[in-house]
Structure 1
Amino acid sequence: MSSYDFVVIGSGPAGRRAAIQAAKLKKSVLVIDDRGSVGGVSVHTGTIPSKTLRESVLNLTGWRERQFYNRRSTDNPQTNCAALNSRLSKTLLHEVDILEQQFARNNVHTLQGRATFVDKNTLRVERREADRTAVELVTAERVLVTVGTKPFRPDNIPFNNRTVLDSDAIVSDLTIPKSLTVIGAGVIGIEYATIFSALDVPVTLVEPRDSFLDFVDREVISNFTQQLLDRGMSIRLGCSAESIVLDENDWPVVTLSDGRVVRSEMLLFAAGRKGATDDLGLENLSLEADHRGRLEVNPKTMQTKVDNIYAAGDVIGFPSLASTSMEQGRIAACHAFNAPMPDAPHHFPYGIYAVPEISTIGYSEEEAKAKGLLFECGVARLRETSRGHIMGLQSGILKCLFELKTGKLLGVHVVGEGATELVHVGQAVLNLGGGIDFFMENTFNYPTLAEAYKIAALDAWNRMAHERSGKVIKLKKRKVGKKAA
């Protein structure tokens, strides 16, 4: 029996950050993962594969140059498929190698196997050894659960991992279908629907709700939706899948609640995920997961109801982002060993790696209204920036919300090329309490997409003219360049 100060179950973003943080606090650390290699869902089936696929598709199809050269994806689909799978494999191996090096440098031990709680300080680990299963007991002072999630697979969906797949299976052996139906317009469904659409695959997106990505500003979603419709994607909102059957060619045929029938070569079911907690032995801890397998924690410490058991990452639910999961893991490790923890920023960015990207931070217009805030919006169209024109952008916006009386930045919302990078300028200003004067008085590299911040600020400033009385929003004297005109 081996003993450690800190045992982490799962090696995704939350687990890796927690393990390294605890190691830096001079604690003995063990990471247990039931996959063949470290990395968790993020590396093997989630974040890294989907984002690698997106970038590969944009490169192979010449997506970014289509506005100039009228290119389309004319290569043989099987040639594209081989190239995509090759890049996915290389990227995965690189990520695993980097993570193994990080663990080795920080003296973090790893163990491949399936962990089950015996009690709050003891774990039973089943390991595959050739043709037999070995069992090992591990004790720990503190335990962190970061097992992530797995796709939700209802019994009435005829999954076969060929023509009807979930979001894990679709990247395990990638094929490019002649047509695709995606059920579920959450982040995962939207990302894969738009990635395959960029390959010129006809895509039908089905969502039972009347809207999608409700946490994103509605003006941004309106712009995003129009871009999808303009390139031929079919979007069926307010429709649920009443039945899914396979025809004589194994093609899925979906009957929708409004009576429409959608037939495609492949179907991706992406309507939710559930925490991978079924086999953890939570009953031995008097811990219960909710109906989606998620664990409840104190959001400030990541502690569960059992004082030495922590949980972080997707297994605790919203926001289920790799970036926030990393911070949750760090917080858990610091709290577990009484290390000082800075307060987390009130606002953090969301990134949706669709085609085009969406990123957002702070209050949306709808949230600001609901809170009774007085504000003004400024909007910049990326095609109107010199950099956007050089890049051939025809769409995309950057939208800023400013408090009316103080000019303080309340939120930033971007849809278009580079959105997930652009948002970080707004993140810094927002979390440091800056406002409209920063964007209006500072110089941005030219030509860049970041200039859109100045354009959006000037747009809002012009709309706020009736409030400028000398007592409201005091700015230093400034020179107005051509963008202000």
Structure 2
Amino acid sequence: MEEYELIVIGSGPAGRRAAVQAAKLGKSVLVVEGRRRVGGVSVHTGTIPSKTLRETALNLSGWRERGFYGHSYRVKQEIGGDDLGVRLMKTLEHEINVLEHQFHRNKIRTVNGTARFTGPNEVAVRRADGSDLAVRGERILITVGTIPYRPDSVPFDGDHVVDSDAIVECPRVPRSLTVIGAGVIGIEYATIFSAMDVPVTLIEPRETFLDFIDREIIDTFTHELRDRGMVIRTGAEVRSIEKGADGWVTTTLADGRTVRTEMLLYAAGRTGATAPLDLDKCGLTVDHRGRITVDPKTFQTEVPHIYAAGDVIGFPSLASTSMEQGRIAACHAFGLPLPPAPQYFPYGIYAVPEISTVGMNEQEVRARGISYEVGIARFRETSRGHIMGLNSGMMKMLFSLKTRRLLGVHICGEGATELIHIGQAVLNLKGTLDYFIENTFNYPTLAEAYKIAALDAWNRMPAREG
């Protein structure tokens, strides 16, 4: 039986960051990946594919130029699945090559196969040829990610009724689309296809969606989606989903309304990919969605030498936070002292338009009883926004009236996920409104929105004493 100081099950963002961190500490590391090549969900069906499809759709549709040239402007008149697939395959191949080189450079061994526990420290890996590899790990990290939730009542066929895996494995552009589930994944795909002028109906059983985002940002976002023709039905329970002989899908809601489209994407939740692991053999249990409970500071499970990180432990399920979780887990596993984690990290939703946020939203500020002021900037108020032809996009900033400290930044619009990092830095460094008032920003840039929003808040704030 081969022995390693760390076995990592899964090679997504958390797994690869943990493996590299452990290797940098001089530890022997084995990474087990269930797919034919490394990368995990992030590279093969999640983060990278969805963002690549988004960029392809925006480029080929001419979306970013329509502010100048009108809604009829197109770079390519007819966009098909092949157009989406070409760029997708090139991007994924590059990402995989980078990861394989990174593992090789750090002398990390990788094995492709399905892992399962045979004891607290023992793992068997079933390889593609049917053979088993038995390995033993002094410490083990589980980073297997998640898989789409697939209820039996939904007639998945991989073509007309699909989940978020199938929609990138064989991409195509349907004549119409129903998306069930207004979580991050559902919102992203609904808006990507809408940007390609596909009629989209978004169905969410709850009355609200993306509840962790500032409500004013969601109101702005929702208005923009409806303004371009997307149908959004919240508080709508799905009674049945049926596929007709012609392949078109009819979705019947509890109130009797029906939606008939050529394709349906079911994106109502994901479950931890823990079923094949035989976790009972190592003493671990999972919740009803297959997720593993960990110490949020160290990512240690109830079995001290076993750690878990990434989407398999639940919220926030971001590639960026998963990487940091993996690094922290590896450091803790081998006794490396950890600096205190930053209080705030950014969320990015790669919809069309983008949403990004860091710090407290207005609901949270009110709930805490903090006296505050708000500053708003519209991207059309910036010269860069005019140059880019932007008719929409906004930044919202929250400041404490008592200390003038920045409390939160919330952005909806072009480049939101890039712009947010300025706010993140100031927030974690406990900066105040005065930073934005007194410092110079490049001109013309969208980043000028920080100064505009800060001045907007400053105009309504009491003057500083002294």
TM-score (norm 1): 0.95
- Aligned-partner Cα distance in 2 for 1:85–1:459: 45
- Partner SS, residue 182 of structure 2: coil
Q: Distance in 2 between matches of 1:75 and 1:19?
A: 43
Separation of aligned partners in 1, 2:415 and 2:134: 48
Change (3 A) 1:179 1:437: same
Deviation (angstroms), 1:4: 0.5
Q: C-alpha separation between the residues in 1 aligned to 2:404 and 2:387?
A: 32
Amino acid at match of 1:44: H
Q: Distance in 1 between matches of 2:265 and 2:434?
A: 46
CA–CA distance in structure 2, aligned partners of residues 325 and 264 of structure 1? 36
| Aligned residue in 2 for 1:231 | 228
Residue in 2 that maps onto 1:104: 104
Equivalent position SS for 1:162: coil
Instruction: Say whether the 8 Å CA contact 1:60–1:80 is kept in structure 2.
Output: no
| Amino acid in structure 1 at the alignment position of 2:2 | S
Cα displacement (A) at 1:73: 4.3
Question: In 2, distance between residues paired with 1:227 and 1:256?
Answer: 25
Cα distance in 1, alignment partners of residues 408 and 321 from structure 2: 18
Deviation at 1:342, TM superposition (A): 1.2
2:80 touches 2:172 (CA, 8 Å); kept in 1?
no
Whether contact under 8 Å (2:121, 2:282) holds in the other structure is no
Structure 1 residue 285: Cα displacement = 1.7
The count of corresponding residues between Structure 1 and Structure 2 is 465
Letter in 2 for 1:237: T
- The aligned counterpart of 1:436 is 433
Which residue in the other structure is 2:465 paired with? 470
User: Could you tell me which amino acid in structure 2 is paired with residue 468 of structure 1?
Assistant: A
After TM superposition, the structure 1 = structure 2 runs for residues 24-173 of structure 1, keeping only pairs within 5 Å, are 24-70=24-70, 71-73=72-74, 75=76, 77=78, 79-129=79-129, 133-173=130-170
Moved more, 367-376 or 177-186: 367-376
For residues 75 and 353 of structure 2, what CA distance do their matches in structure 1 show? Answer: 21
Q: Tell me how far 1:259 sits from its aligned partner.
A: 1.6
Q: Identity across aligned pairs (percent)?
A: 65
Unaligned runs of 5+ in 2: none
Deviation at 1:468, TM superposition (A): 2.0
SS in 2 for 1:64: helix
Q: Which amino acid aligns with 1:263?
A: R
Q: How far apart are residue 246 of structure 1 and its match? A: 1.1
CA contact (8 A) 1:73 1:200 kept: no
SS in 1 for 2:141: strand
* Structure-2-length-normalised TM-score: 0.99
For residue 340 of structure 1, give the secondary structure of its aligned residue in structure 2.
Answer: coil
Q: Deviations over 1:7-43 (max 9, x none)?
A: 0000000000000000000000000011000000000
CA deviations over 1:105-141 (Å, ceiling 9, x no partner): 1111100111111111110111112xxx101100010
Q: Secondary structure at the match of 1:111?
A: strand
Q: Deviations over 1:436-480 (max 9, x none)?
A: 00000000000000000000000001111xx22516xxxxxxxxx
Instruction: Tell me which residue corresponds to 2:7.
Output: 7
Per the alignment, residue 477 of structure 1 pairs with: none
What one-letter code is carried by the residue in structure 2 that aligns with 1:99? L
Deviations 1:371-427 (A, max 9, x none): 111110000001110100110100110000000111100000000000000000000
Q: Which amino acid aligns with 1:22?
A: A
Match of 2:219 among 218, 222, 225: 222
Give yes or no for the alignment of 1:23 onto 2:16: no
Residue 178 of structure 2 is aligned to residue 187 of structure 1: no
Confirm or deny: 8 A CA contact 1:245 1:253 kept in the other structure: yes
Tell me the C-alpha RMSD between the 2 structures: 1.0
Whole-Å Cα distance in 1 between the matches of residues 76 and 389 of structure 2?
23
Could you list the per-position Cα deviations for residues 306-346 of structure 1 after superposition, in whole angstroms to 9, with x for gaps in the alignment?
A: 01000000000000000000000000000000012111111
Rounded to whole Å, the distance in 2 between the matches of 1:469 and 1:127 is 68
4+ runs deviating over 3 angstroms: 71-77
